[in-house]
Structure 1
């Protein structure tokens, strides 16, 4: 069986480290997120992709029945929040710098939900503007 050359192995190893969904981020952040995921927090990269899709979607794209069903995005934002709280301050700030622009987009495209519980997180107290 032929042996792989060292540079071929390095290329494959570097491709494996790149997590889709993290637009930018230090190696420390990627390492800390991997550690969190091993300890039970869901995939932060997947949550970031879902929250990005929710924040960038138009009102017409959210739900075909018109029921303002945004729970997948809400769950993703909750996962991001729990990850930011579990990370050390410096790494949480780095992740927050990726989430805040999406939060601003979401805030701009939604309106307050008058029937939401006041104790709910801010993203759960918003609904699609019609």
Structure 2
């Protein structure tokens, strides 16, 4: 009787799922493989797998004016509150090493530029409540 190769034997065995196999594999588009690995390391120590890519997708959808509907608790409104996503992205930018930060900033730069271009400054937030009296005689 012929002997089966070890790879064939291992392929037929049941494999126990590893914890990271159950999570969705979301990656940030536009990042290199080393940067993706560093983002995955950041996610493993904190927010969870795929959270940075989900935050980028939600931020992009909000900047472009699309509503994002993700399953979640009824009090969670991802279409309206993007503060948590942007805070997570800022935490990632501060925690990642240099090259990964540059690549992630390159992905976020057009989104941030579009957001800031549509943003109207509110003079009340500058500490000048009556700004029109300074401009008008």
**Which residue number in structure 2 is paired with residue 38 of structure 1?**
44
* Number of residues of Structure 1 aligned to a counterpart in Structure 2: 98
Q: Which moved more, 1:76-85 or 1:103-112?
A: 103-112
Matches within 5 A, 1:23-102: 23-41=29-47, 43-57=51-65, 72-102=81-111
**Which residue number in structure 1 is paired with residue 116 of structure 2?**
107
What is the distance in 2 between the residues matched to 1:34 and 1:117?
A: 38
Q: Tell me the C-alpha RMSD between the 2 structures.
A: 3.3
What is the distance in 2 between the residues matched to 1:20 and 1:39?
A: 16
**Which residue number in structure 2 is paired with residue 66 of structure 1?**
none
CA distance change for structure 1 residues 78 and 21 in 2, over 3 Å: closer, same or farther? same
What is the distance in 1 between the residues matched to 2:39 and 2:124?
A: 35
CA distance change for structure 1 residues 20 and 116 in 2, over 3 Å: closer, same or farther? farther
List runs of 5+ in structure 2 lacking aligned partners: 1-8, 13-23, 69-77, 128-137
TM-fit CA distance, 1:32: 0.7
CA distance change for structure 1 residues 87 and 23 in 2, over 3 Å: closer, same or farther? same
What is the distance in 2 between the residues matched to 1:54 and 1:22?
A: 16
SS in 1 for 2:86: helix
CA distance change for structure 1 residues 46 and 73 in 2, over 3 Å: closer, same or farther? same
Structure 1: 4+ residue segments shifted above 2 A: 2-5, 18-21, 69-72, 112-118
